[in-house]
Structure 1
Amino acid sequence: MHLDLTDLRLFRHVAEAGSITAGGARAGLALASASARLRAMEAQAGVALLLRGRRGVSLTPAGEALLHHARLVGQQVERMRGELGEYARGLQGHVRLLANTAATVEFLPEPLARFLAAHPQVEIALEERTSTAIAAAVAEGRAELGIAADHADLAGLEALPFRTDRLVLVAAPDHPLAGRGGVRLEEALGWPFIGLGAGSALQRHLAGHAARASGRLRLRLQAPGPEAACRMAALGAGLALVPEAAARRAGAAAPLALIPLAEAWAERRLLLLHRRGAALPAHAARLLVHLAG
């Protein structure tokens, strides 16, 4: 087979996204170009690499084997870039960083901005995921770094302290729950909610806890972010369940009630993760030190 780095990078992105359209976009290729490259790869291999369906694509056993090698090649290329970058300025380095909603929205913007300003040759692919998915992806080598809550499975990972995150309920000042010293999620489920977008990792996380409490979050609307949800909750549209930092920031602009969530899982230690025993590319290692500091 004669595959170039673009082919392998495209295949890796398509496999991780479960979609030719999304994977092609991540690789910087139009759908027609991405599809043509994938068909050419299958023709060279003499075997199907992808199972195509109406809801996306999945890997055949041959595709799984190719994905393994594509990841290894990608990691070697990033190590080469990092080492050569010590000698040749301007060589691009790429780091894939996965983070949960709280880290993405509340804690990462300023540290990442400072790192990018100091390292103009590095690009960071920041993607929001649930903590469980983040830990699995980093352990499997699908991302160099991750930031996840401490409830995730940390097998095969090194974990460094990053931040502490607390989830709280937000309501209008005259809401019946306002002023309570703590409210269980099961009790709050009796009220309508303003949720976060369908792609929000935090929203999926909360839906899981609601299901374990034998209920569901009755969403009146899904807001584009935690602060927007807080502003709507403050005006009586429903309850919001968001990181405390976002709630306090929204509370500085409008009156609202901040209600502690009386659940052990509401307070989460966020951890900075990388794969145990794996040598990070130089630029990923520098980002790790920067975030840990």
Structure 2
Amino acid sequence: MVAAGIANRRPMHRYDLFTLELFIAVVEEQSIAAAAERAHIAASAISRRISELEAMLGAELLVRHSKGIDLTEAGTALLHHARTIQGSVAVMDAELRDFASGLRGLIRVSANKSAIMETLPMELAGFLALHPLIRINLEEGTSPDIVQRVASNQADLGIFGGNIPAPGLQIVPYRRDELVVVLPPGHVLSGRASIAFADLLDHDFVCLERGSSIETLCRRAAEDLGSEVRVRVRVGSFEGQLRIIENGLGIGVVPRQVLDGQMRETGLTALALEDSWRLRPLHIGLRDHASLSRPARRLIAYLTQPSPNATAACPTGASCDAGPSLRSSPQQPSD
């Protein structure tokens, strides 16, 4: 009966993993020549493999033109599945290659600047001390980019601002941080202990790049007040933001814990924000807890326990693999 069922099943296309990797490289590099250089293979060989793939599927995948390539609808679908396959194979290879001795594996983590500047490095150090055979690939990004990386299987889990929409992802509460206002030396507001965000909108701001969690919070808060944030300078890091503020080019909003680690030997002043959104949740997002690798499930359990430094966390028991309390992110559009 089983053999008959297999015999009657519709034949599946035979996909070559290397060809799929080359296809992803062409899309990411926007050039067959650049992808060939990256993969150390002749450009003609890549063209031939993609042509054979198109012939097998009976659909055009790429539109080639003088400025590079564009994906067709079929190519876009293939890219999504190819990245999923690539991620699954990478995780499988990392786990099985060294599985003979203990819990091993690679976890791909994407996190925003706040998490990386606050407690995440210390927590990862504690986790890796308990699991020396596990490796972590940590990538920094803005919260919207992190959501996209997790959704497209370029990361196993992401840590991002809870105010950012994450449609289709499972959400685990991670941490909560407090946002404060940073003032340069001698600023007119320096004598105050706290301030409402509305009273800041007549001043120039130094902000992180557009789309970051904090920038989005400030922009939406200003819009709710019928105003806008006067951004004078945008930077790509908290360190750069604080240096620019220190030199008098504007004020800024940063996590208190980030500021506490950067205020030594500076003339910066911190004011408490009076608005309720100053208390900002950070979330862990993932596609599906049940399909995560065992090391990734253990990392989530470690990050979400009450005391991440407790060495009793995830020794060898099954409780670490059962999973934390999950909820699905609402299907809301991003701005």
Return the alpha-carbon distance in structure 1 between the equivalents of residues 155 and 92 of structure 2: 17
Q: Which moved more, 1:251-260 or 1:69-78?
A: 69-78
- Cα distance in 2 for partners of 1:112, 1:277 equals 19
Counterpart in 2 of 1:73?
A: 85
Give the CA RMSD over aligned residues: 4.1
Aligned partner letter, 2:275: E
Q: Which amino acid aligns with 1:110?
A: M
Partner of residue 129, structure 1: 142
Amino acid at match of 2:251: L
Residue 20 of structure 1, aligned match among 11, 29, 39:
29
1:174 alignment counterpart: 186
Tell me, yes or no, if the aligned pair for 1:9 and 1:74 is still in contact at 8 Å: yes
* TM-score when normalising by structure 1: 0.75
Match of 1:291 among 280, 298, 303: 303
Aligned partner of residue 177 in structure 2, secondary structure = strand
Unaligned 5+ segments in structure 1 are none
CA contact under 8 A between 1:179 and 1:259: conserved in structure 2?
no
| C-alpha contact 2:98 2:104 (8 A) present in aligned 1 | no
Aligned residue runs from structure 1 range 155-170, under 5 A: 156-170=168-182
In structure 1, the partner of 2:51 is 43
Residue in structure 2 matched with residue 64 of structure 1 by the alignment: 76
1:212-251 equivalences in 2 (<5 Å): 212-213=223-224, 214-251=226-263
2:200 matched residue in structure 1? 188
How far apart are the structure 1 equivalents of 2:259 and 2:210?
20
Gaps of 5+ in 2: 1-12, 309-335
Residue matched to 2:157: 145
Point out the more displaced range, 237-246 or 117-126. 117-126
Alignment partner of 2:292: what SS?
coil
Contact 1:189 1:216 (8 Å CA) reproduced: yes
CA separation of 1:90 and 1:6: change in aligned 2, threshold 3 A: farther
2:212 corresponds to 1:201? yes
Q: Is the 8 A contact 2:181 2:272 kept in 1?
A: yes
C-alpha contact (below 8 Å) 1:10/1:34 kept by paired residues: no
How many residues are aligned here?
287
Q: Deviations over 1:200-257 (max 9, x none)?
A: 8346535743662554444444445213422442343321221211222222332322
For residues 36-66 of structure 1, what are the alpha-carbon distances to aligned partners after superposition, in whole Å with 9 as ceiling and x for unaligned?
A: 6753443121444245689986532111221
Q: 1:226, 1:243 within 8 Å by CA — same for their partners in 2?
A: no
What percent of counterpart residues are identical?
Answer: 32
Greater gyration radius: 2
Q: Map Cα deviations across residues 50-87 of structure 1 (whole Å, 9 max, x no partner).
A: 45689986532111221233134234424533552563
Check 1:225–1:41 CA distance in 2 against 1; reply closer, same or farther (3 A cut).
Answer: same
Determine helix, strand or coil for the equivalent of 1:167: strand
Q: Shift of the alpha carbon at 1:135?
A: 3.7
CA gap of 1:87–1:140, structure 2 versus 1, over 3 A, is: closer
Shift of the alpha carbon at 1:91?
Answer: 11
Which amino acid in 2 is paired with 1:243? P
8 Å Cα contact 1:182-1:261 kept in structure 2: yes
Over 3 Å counting, the alpha-carbon distance change for 1:52 and 1:106 in structure 2 is farther
- Is the 1:94–1:125 Cα contact (8 Å) retained in structure 2? no
For the residues of structure 2 that align with 1:115 and 1:237, how far apart are their CA atoms?
Answer: 40
Counterpart residue type for residue 51 of structure 2: A
- 2:314 is matched with none
SS in 2 for 1:250: coil
Q: Secondary structure at the match of 1:152?
A: coil
The separation in 2 between residues aligned to 1:210 and 1:14, in whole angstroms, is: 41
Q: Which of 269, 277, 280 lines up with 1:265 in the alignment?
A: 277
For residue 251 of structure 1, give the secondary structure of its aligned residue in structure 2: coil
- C-alpha displacement of 1:258: 0.7
Amino acid at match of 2:223: R
